[in-house]
Structure 1
Amino acid sequence: MSNKPTPRKPRHNRHPSNRIPAISDYESDAAITTSRYEAPPPRTNTELNLSVLQRYLPSISRILSIAANAVVYTFDNASQGWEKSGIEGTMFVCAQTPLPEDPDHRPRACVFVLSRRGLDNVIVDLAKVGHVEIMGELVILKVEGHWEEGEKIVGLWIHNDEEGTRATNGAIIEESWKIARAAGTVVDEGPRPEAGPAMQAIGRPLTLNELFGRQQAAGGS
């Protein structure tokens, strides 16, 4: 009779189905997340600026030029002098898509001053401008309309630098005005149906009547 011990069968540790450990380490989660959700490609400054402007005015299709610092002036017919409007910030000269109801698909353009001092942005439809003149440090826009107190004249002071930002922007405003003026597509002032979410949240931009009216109120106080 043999006294050799009988070898034991290896034991298998069985986990109940509700006790199976889950794999949740950081590297595994990160790998799964990366494979499913790839990071969006980086956007240029122009693309970022365009997305911001389109939140105000979705019809803006392209930024033609940018001035990092511009100040809006209004011309007072009574005193025959320039007055600061209180609006200053980044200025954009923009091309816009044609109006949906325009069968001729005529081009549009505007000057958009995004105020850094408040919510009162200024948008000038270049098709409404009767004359553009570059005089000294100002780009002068003479806006046509049914004004009781005379024509509205807006002056844009653009900070100059080594790259000649003032001259470049002035030339692009003048060229864009000629194209928009020749097309003749004018959008009436008032609530804009094309307003984006940002404009809907803060209200429409200042109209020229409101801009000049505010200047007259400030002068009379």
Structure 2
Amino acid sequence: MASKKARRNNNHSNNHNHTDYESDTAYISDMPTQPAPKLRSNEELNLSVLRRHNPSITNVLSLANYAVIYIFSPSTRSWEKTGIEGSLFVCALEPGSLGEERYSAFVLNRRGLENFDLQLLDRENVELTEEYVILKDDDSANQGSTPANPGSTRIYGIWIYSEPPPNSTAEMRTINANLILECATRAGESAKLAKQHAEAMGQSSLHSAATAADTQAPPEEVQSSVPMGRTISLKDLFGQQRAQDDGFTVHAHNEPPQQPPPPPQPHIQPQVQHQQGSDVLGDLFRRAGLFPGQQQ
């Protein structure tokens, strides 16, 4: 009897365990699954690493697996190692302030914390030899992690590792050297065009401002102009304060507008024709003493 009871208990225990396993499996299957992380390409990984050192890098145009940076010593007239060696990247940068194209040569250093980051500015700063890609740095735009030597022009030599054919790195030096030269050429031409365009726009703005100023009347002309229909007294014309001015002003205002008489020239003797009847202007001139030899 005991053995039968034990078997029943064992069967019950096995059934219970089987039920728990099924419930656990159902619980796990109901949990939301996280999508697998997207695998990034080597290009994306390289760009991410480079942008940590230079955020203006937008694209990697080419790379060489191994390069060594030398600097030319004027005192010894020889090439000396800078302690920078590693993968070489030819990069495109964000456009400059004038919209010009920009490029750089970047070596991610395996030997230390200082990297080589030199902007390619002009064709004249690049020279290709059998051993080196020679780069001249004499511009303040290059303020990266390149070893500094203030007060002098720095000349760098990039030695790019390549193996004899038919190895995959056989053309590595030629490809990257030619691309560096092409990028420097494009950058120099783009900078010149952008500068010329900016100067042309500046001259156009100055010309437009000058034209707008010429179309406006000078202040003295605005002040001296007389609106149509406005009466002018003899006091304004000759500086004489006469009692007859008020009556003449009212008389002229009631008549149709006429062109005001020109101011008298002091060196010209005016000729007055004496007519019988009323000669208002002639009488006023004579009374004001403006005609020599006339009695008031």
Instruction: Check whether TM > 0.5.
Output: yes
TM-score by structure 2 length? Answer: 0.48
Three-state SS of the structure 1 residue aligned to 2:31 is: helix
Partner of 1:125: 119
Contact 2:66 2:161 in 1 (8 A): yes
Inter-partner Cα distance in structure 2 for 1:159 and 1:140: 15
1:134 equivalent in alignment to 2:128: yes
Three-state SS of the structure 2 residue aligned to 1:184 is: helix
Contact 2:70 2:158 in 1 (8 A): yes
Contact 2:123 2:181 in 1 (8 A): no
Seen in structure 2, the aligned counterparts of structure 1 residues 137 and 25 have a Cα distance that, compared at 3 Å, is farther
Partner of 2:64: 67
Query: Which whole-Å deviations, capped at 9, do the CAs of 1:162-192 have from their partners, x for residues lacking one?
Result: 341000110111111111222339xxxxxxx
Post-superposition offset of 1:31: 6.3
Inter-partner Cα distance in structure 1 for 2:89 and 2:26: 45
Inter-partner Cα distance in structure 1 for 2:153 and 2:99: 29
Inter-partner Cα distance in structure 2 for 1:124 and 1:184: 17
Inter-partner Cα distance in structure 2 for 1:138 and 1:109: 19
Give 5+ residue unaligned stretches, structure 2: 1-19, 141-148, 193-296
Query: Which whole-Å deviations, capped at 9, do the CAs of 1:5-62 have from their partners, x for residues lacking one?
Result: xxxxxxxxxxxxxxxx9x994785476342xx31232211111101111111121111
Partner of 1:171: 178
1:158 equivalent in alignment to 2:165: no
Post-superposition offset of 1:128: 6.6
Three-state SS of the structure 1 residue aligned to 2:107 is: strand
Aligned length: 159
Seen in structure 2, the aligned counterparts of structure 1 residues 87 and 30 have a Cα distance that, compared at 3 Å, is farther
Give me the identity figure in percent: 40
Task: Find the partner of 2:107 among 107, 113, 131.
Answer: 113
Query: Which whole-Å deviations, capped at 9, do the CAs of 1:123-169 have from their partners, x for residues lacking one?
Result: 00112774211111211012224888653110000001334100011
Matched ranges for 1:1-20 at <5 A: none
Seen in structure 2, the aligned counterparts of structure 1 residues 116 and 184 have a Cα distance that, compared at 3 Å, is same
Partner of 1:196: none
Higher-Rg structure is 2
Contact 2:90 2:104 in 1 (8 A): yes
Q: In the alignment, residue 157 of structure 2 is paired with which amino acid?
A: G
Partner of 1:10: none
Query: Which whole-Å deviations, capped at 9, do the CAs of 1:185-221 have from their partners, x for residues lacking one?
Result: 9xxxxxxxxxxxxxxxxxxxxxxxxxxxxxxxxxxxx
Q: Which moved more, 1:143-152 or 1:165-174?
A: 143-152
Seen in structure 2, the aligned counterparts of structure 1 residues 56 and 148 have a Cα distance that, compared at 3 Å, is closer
Inter-partner Cα distance in structure 1 for 2:26 and 2:110: 43
Give 5+ residue unaligned stretches, structure 1: 1-20, 186-221
Task: Find the partner of 1:98 among 95, 98, 108.
Answer: 95
Contact 1:64 1:93 in 2 (8 A): yes
Partner of 2:35: 38
Partner of 1:182: 189
Task: Find the partner of 1:77 among 74, 78, 98.
Answer: 74
